[in-house]
Copies of this chain bind each other. A is one copy, B any other.
Amino acid sequence: MDSQTDSSTSLWLGAPLEQLPTPALTLDQVKMRRNAERMQERCRSLGVRLRPHVKTHKTLEGAELATGGTRRGIVVSTLAEARFFAAGGFDDILYAYPLPASRLEECATLAQRLQAFQVLLDNPQTLDLLRQRPLSGGKRWLVWLKLDCGNGRAGVRPTDPNTFALARAIAEETPEKVTLVGVYAHCGNTYSCRDVPTIQAIARATTAAVLDFVTTLRQAGVPCPQATIGSTPSCSHPVPEMAQLTELHPGNYIFYDLQQTQVGSCQPEEVAIRVLTRVIGHYPHRNQLLVDCGWAALSLHGQNQGPMGCATIEGYPQLRLVGLTQEHGQLEAVDGQIDFGRFPLGTILALIPYHACATAAMHPVYYVHAEGKVVELWHPVRGW
């Protein structure tokens, strides 16, 4: 390997952004810190705990920032993340994914090792598995019940009578082996919103569904200490009712992205993520610029209305992305002729990606910058 150019080395620390090899995923440190602090402040105001989801960035540094330096209380969506963050000193990790039977031993290892490795389920078969594989040393499985409050992905519906029976079974049937920690709902349906009032209507409905269920449990004498909902749109504009929850678990907000701007979660100036790219070709006969960022560096998320949905070009609303292949992006003028003299070969452009989670997944390193220079290199975990 050529260490001079390997992007995983620390060579780039201190470098001006315009010297980075492209495509490069960059993160604005000031914006990320502000996004993290604002979410912490929202949760403080509500009196609920922030348990940030780490699936967007998958980095120790991002999770440290999101937890305000405590390294406690995170949500992960893969066991690769769980192992990575456990090794990095995080000891309160909620694996908020329907626990797969084939991964039970890995979960048991983490549960034995960590102070609080917590799992999630939405069916009685998985509860049986946990009972058949008890933890040792006085440990019990810490279980969250996943509720589907209208999102329509994983989870049981709080209005289904079997759901009450499942919660009671988790809480009461084998208390020496299993504990019901709480109920968990993801309001991913907020992503279809286009303004704050509709986001808040979903947040309010999800919160009410979760709290009604917890109330029913408590009235029946079933202990259910915790209740959490999450999604960056709902947690960016919380409703007062969310103060009755115990935790919130948004994740994307540290970066935000074009989609969050369109949904109404944030203002364009809050988006911390960019993909830097350089102009590598001029094609006046078809009025196009070529740049060195394809789907391999951006993903195809947002392409439902064509490639122009995948990213906007910062500072150049007159340009739009019209083509993405593996390592090439094609830019056109929205209107009229491109002034090629304004974009000599080598010109650096900053793309604002549609979906930060998907774009981040394409990069082995993120360049964190402040005052125009690289101040940190973040290396995400991958795989499962």
Contacts and interface: CB of A to CB of B under 8 A. Distances in A.
A102 B346 contact: yes
Interface stretch (A44-52, A78-86, A176-184, A265-273): A78-86
Contact of A301 (B160, B292, B300, B364): B300
Given A299-B299, A383-B365, A101 B346 contact: yes
Interface string A63-86: 000000000000001111001100
A323 B273 CA distance: 26
A133 interface: no
Contacts of A2: 83, 106, 109-110
A280 B120 CA distance: 12
Contact of A100 (B6, B103, B346): B346
Interface in A85-137: 87, 97-98, 100-103, 106, 109-110, 122-123, 125-126
A174 interface: no
Contact of A152 (B55, B286, B358): B286
A280 B326 contact: no
A18 to B, nearest CB: 9
Given A383-B7, A384-B23, A290 B98 contact: yes
A39 interface: no
A140 interface: no
Contacts of A364: 382-383
A8 B110 CA distance: 19
Given A154-B328, A383-B8, A299 B300 contact: yes
A80 B365 CA distance: 13
A22 interface: yes
A280 B153 contact: no
Contacts of A152: 286
Given A296-B361, A301-B300, A364-B382, A122 B7 contact: no
B123 A282 contact: yes
Contacts of A297: 384
Given A122-B281, A125-B345, A300-B301, A154 B101 contact: no
A246 to B, nearest CB: 24
Interface string A177-193: 00000000000100000
Interface string A352-384: 000001100111110000000000000000111
A5 interface: yes
A278 interface: yes
A54 to B, nearest CB: 12
A184 to B, nearest CB: 14
A158 B157 CA distance: 63
Interface of A: 1-2, 4-8, 21-24, 55, 77-80, 83-84, 87, 97-98, 100-103, 106, 109-110, 122-123, 125-126, 152-154, 157, 160, 188, 278, 280-282, 285-286, 290, 292, 295-297, 299-301, 303-304, 323, 325-328, 330, 345-346, 357-358, 361-365, 382-384
7 contacts: A1-B87, A5-B79, A21-B384, A78-B327, A98-B281, A122-B281, A364-B383
Given A100-B346, A326-B357, 11 more contacts: A1-B87, A21-B103, A77-B326, A78-B327, A97-B327, A102-B346, A152-B286, A153-B325, A160-B285, A300-B303, A364-B383
